[in-house]
Structure 1
Amino acid sequence: MSAGYFLKRTAFALLALAGLMIAVFFLVRLTGDPVNLYLPVDASQGARDAMRTKLGLDQPVFFQFLDWGGQMLRFDFGTSLWHNRPAIEVVLQALPNTLALGAIALTFAFGGAVLFGSVAAVRAGSWVDRVINLVSQAAASVPDFWLGLMCILVFAVTLRVLPTSGFGGPIYWVLPVVCLFARPFGTLVQIVRGSMLEALNAAFVRTARAKGAQTGRVTFVHALRNALLPAITVTGDLAAQFAGGGGVVEVVFGFPGIGKLLIDGILKRDFALVQASIFCVAIVIFIINIAVDMLYAAIDPRVRIEQ
């Protein structure tokens, strides 16, 4: 990757990030006055005015925006009202949980999709292909929240082999990973199968077979390498989605990730927490996009990332 390309992408990312954060600044203030949420209903007007002054909400929005802009330049997101701690500390504590959860789910989904999608393509039209198609389409269609509730009902309530929610050892990760795994797996199986069918019928594969190349090498080296490119693109998009947290899954299982943190921050009108969460997620998405570009170029020599 050339330095010019990286600098260009970084410049565009910074512009997009600035626009996003400005939009978030104004949008979170449309959710309501946090003073009404954090003070008792019978709180005096003096107490309300004092809290607004402390939070800087007594000033016109334009001056609030200027103060916020100065804080952003120092990477100071303020104090979380809900946690009574610097908002960035709360976010950085939750972010690794989300990244680990998403990485585990996507790793299993991608690996399983490559295996089953390739088998379905090689055995196209057979009963194996039909079964894999049926399972993958069902997995790609199932809603996360419904699957999460069903998993809790079966494995936690009925069989009592897994916890309903919480955070701790590996056993607490099983159900969230399964729920995040299902739809990406189903989607990627369909993509790998379609790409493999196209690659297996391509001229370069027919040439390799004509030269006497072994079937396994033709399938899993020549064809699969080209078939992986669309799957990598979709996996990158899925990783970017997961970087924002599997919000519904994290809420269903009480998993302390950034998705749950962001939803709670919105509901609790914790402006600093919401802004810090979105900022960190945007940075992670930029890194993921750069990594996907580099992986693309590494797998396919025809791809060149130029300035």
Structure 2
Amino acid sequence: MGILTFVGRRLINGVLVLAALSVLVFSILQLVPGDPALTVAGMGASESDIAVIRQQLGLDQPVWVQFFTWIAGIFQGDWGVSVVSKEPVLPILLSRLGMTLLLAVAGIFVAAIVGVLLGVNAALRANTAADVGLSVVALIGVSAPIFWIGLILQLLFSIQLGVLPATGSGTFWHLVLPALAIGGNSIGIIMRMTRSSLLEVLRQDFVRTARAKGLRPGVVIYKHALRNAFIPVITVIGVQFAYLMGGAVLIETVFVWPGIGKLLADSVFRRDFPMIQGAILIIGFFFVLVNMLVDLAYSLIDPRIRLG
């Protein structure tokens, strides 16, 4: 299968996934209690005022008409207007997207480096006290909620030690704690996958042959064994990066980080349905994009793997 055919099929699958996601999100929001028109009008508004606002927002139309109007607007670059700020949704989301991507990239960078290094060390010391200790650390990292990790980091480094800012953005130091917190879960997952995959590869014949040739242990591990063990690890890293885009909602709220996650959380409380729909659609798009890039990376890491 050629790369263009592969990408074409993946794009079709991605469009279908996003279409299903849009239907699901729109349907769920219709079941959420509360009236966006009442949120805009205020608690003391009269029924006539609320009716006028519902008409302005298009909420007086049948649900299926509202859905297809929204979908048609997306294809035209019109993602709707925020119920709260009265501004177009798409420019607001794009202005916040960079901060969320920065946080997710920093988090997965920390998680990948630390997780792979710990996983390699655990595999090379399999069934020892060091391996057990690292496995316990990984289990704690996987089990701990990311918002709890964020609060602990704030308590330790901001309140107790006073060396890093607790909230906000603008400098490199503002990024450190959110990146550590959002990557905390992923470190344990990546470490466990690296350990199990590397242990399986180390038992194969080509590794014993490389050692018999007199190659240095570092060359055997990092050039031969780890490269072959990295296929499932790449999958996990890609999935975790997409997960961090969604998990940013909690971390951005804890650290008051001005990204899409914080915007999504605020929009939920304000019943800003157009903003919620747009934010979830963008997060879903990155899930689809990352999964496609991971599949493309397989053939680059291991030439034996073809796109078919």
Post-superposition shift, 1:305? 0.3
Give the partner amino acid of 2:30. Answer: R
1:163-212 alpha-carbon deviations (Å, 9 max, x no partner): 22122211211211111121111111111111111111111111222222
Which residue pairs with 2:259 in the alignment?
Answer: 257
SS of the equivalent of 1:118 reads helix
Which residue pairs with 2:27 in the alignment?
Answer: 26
Contact 1:199–1:223, Cα closer than 8 Å, also in 2: yes
Any stretches of 5+ residues in structure 1 without a counterpart?
none
Is the counterpart of residue 14 in structure 1 residue 8 in structure 2?
no
Q: For 1:1-307, list aligned pairs within 5 A.
A: 2-31=3-32, 32-306=34-308
Q: Name the stretch that deviates more: 4-13 or 278-287.
A: 278-287
Query: 1:141 & 1:26 partners in 2: Cα distance?
Result: 31
Q: Name the stretch that deviates more: 178-187 or 162-171.
A: 162-171
Post-superposition shift, 1:156? 2.0
Query: 1:69 & 1:191 partners in 2: Cα distance?
Result: 40
Query: 2:67 & 2:4 partners in 1: Cα distance?
Result: 34
Post-superposition shift, 1:280? 1.6
Post-superposition shift, 1:245? 4.5
**Count of residue pairs the alignment pairs up:** 306
Post-superposition shift, 1:37? 1.8
Normalization by structure 1: what TM-score?
0.94
1:210-250 alpha-carbon deviations (Å, 9 max, x no partner): 22222221111111111111111111111111222421111
Q: Name the stretch that deviates more: 173-182 or 162-171.
A: 162-171
Give the partner amino acid of 2:217. Answer: T
Post-superposition shift, 1:142? 1.7
Give the partner amino acid of 1:85. Answer: E
Query: 1:66 & 1:103 partners in 2: Cα distance?
Result: 34
Post-superposition shift, 1:122? 1.6
1:81-119 alpha-carbon deviations (Å, 9 max, x no partner): 223211011111111111111111111211122222112
Any stretches of 5+ residues in structure 2 without a counterpart?
none
Cα separation, partners in 2 of 1:216 and 1:157, compared to 1, 3 Å: closer
Q: Name the stretch that deviates more: 57-66 or 83-92.
A: 57-66
Q: Name the stretch that deviates more: 65-74 or 55-64.
A: 65-74
Cα separation, partners in 2 of 1:145 and 1:214, compared to 1, 3 Å: same
Query: 2:72 & 2:193 partners in 1: Cα distance?
Result: 46
Contact 2:81–2:88, Cα closer than 8 Å, also in 1: yes
Give the partner amino acid of 1:156. Answer: S
Superposition RMSD on alpha carbons, in Å? 1.7
